């Protein structure tokens, strides 16, 4: 039983390291979209790992922690997708190392419609 | 032993929170600030769960769940507002 608790604690520590790397990528990345990638993906994995470790440590917490984990898995990519679409339609500049941009045909059309509407 | 490792984990989470707070203050655009706000609330959910372990109360997990729900709704609403107005 003690070994299970120590395993859960180490799992929580690994998850917190992923969360720290997400915060570090949020500071160091050159572009908004790279910041979205590092921030939301790394912190989603870190959240899952650390909550699973806490469920191993404390008996009886497994169902509530499972609800939080499923909620994070569903909502986190949705919110990052909404912000990325909004930023691209707003015209945030990409970094100079960008290789491909799949949305670049769609954005000027939307701007034209807005101008025609006004 | 378990409490020591969890304290180290909480310190790592606090360092991540401070780094995203730096981006929240410095960020050149509103979308940078929204993304760093999102990451800060995700880190806060983990931190509330660790605090629930230290306090020994399962009721704090409900607080974490409601906190994540409110942050998701606010981020989606702000994204819609940035994209096409109210």
Report how far residue A54's alpha carbon sits from residue A50's, in angstroms, rounded to the nearest whole number.
6
Per-residue pLDDT of A79-114, as tens digits, reads 999 998 888 888 777 777 777 777 776 655 455 455
ipTM of the complex: 0.89
Cβ-based contacts of A90 with chain B (< 8 Å): 31, 82-83
Q: Read off the pTM.
A: 0.85
* Mean pLDDT for back-to-back runs of 10 residues, chain B (86 residues): 90 92 88 91 92 90 92 91 80
User: Could you tell me how many CB contacts below 8 A there are between chain A and chain B?
Assistant: 170
């Amino acid at each position: 039983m003690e070994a299970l608790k120590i395993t859960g604690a180490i799992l929580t520590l690994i998850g917190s390291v992923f969360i720290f790397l997400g915060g570090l990528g949020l500071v160091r990345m050159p572009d908004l979209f790279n910041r979205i990638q590092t921030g939301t993906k790394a912190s989603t994995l870190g959240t899952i790992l650390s909550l699973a470790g806490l469920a191993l440590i404390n008996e009886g917490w497994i169902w509530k922690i499972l609800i939080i984990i499923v909620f994070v898995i569903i909502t986190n990519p949705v919110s990052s997708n909404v912000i990325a679409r909004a930023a691209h339609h707003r015209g945030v500049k990409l970094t100079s190392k960008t290789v491909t941009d799949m949305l670049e045909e769609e954005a000027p059309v939307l701007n034209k419609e807005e101008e025609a509407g006004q | 032993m378990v409490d020591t490792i969890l304290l180290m984990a909480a310190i790592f989470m606090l360092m991540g929170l401070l780094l995203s707070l730096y981006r929240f203050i410095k960020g050149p655009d509103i979308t940078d600030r929204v993304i760093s706000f999102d990451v800060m609330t995700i880190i806060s959910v983990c931190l509330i769960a660790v605090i629930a372990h230290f306090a020994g109360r399962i009721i704090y997990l409900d607080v974490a769940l409601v906190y994540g729900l409110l942050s998701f709704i606010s981020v989606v609403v702000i994204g819609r507002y940035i994209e096409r107005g109210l």
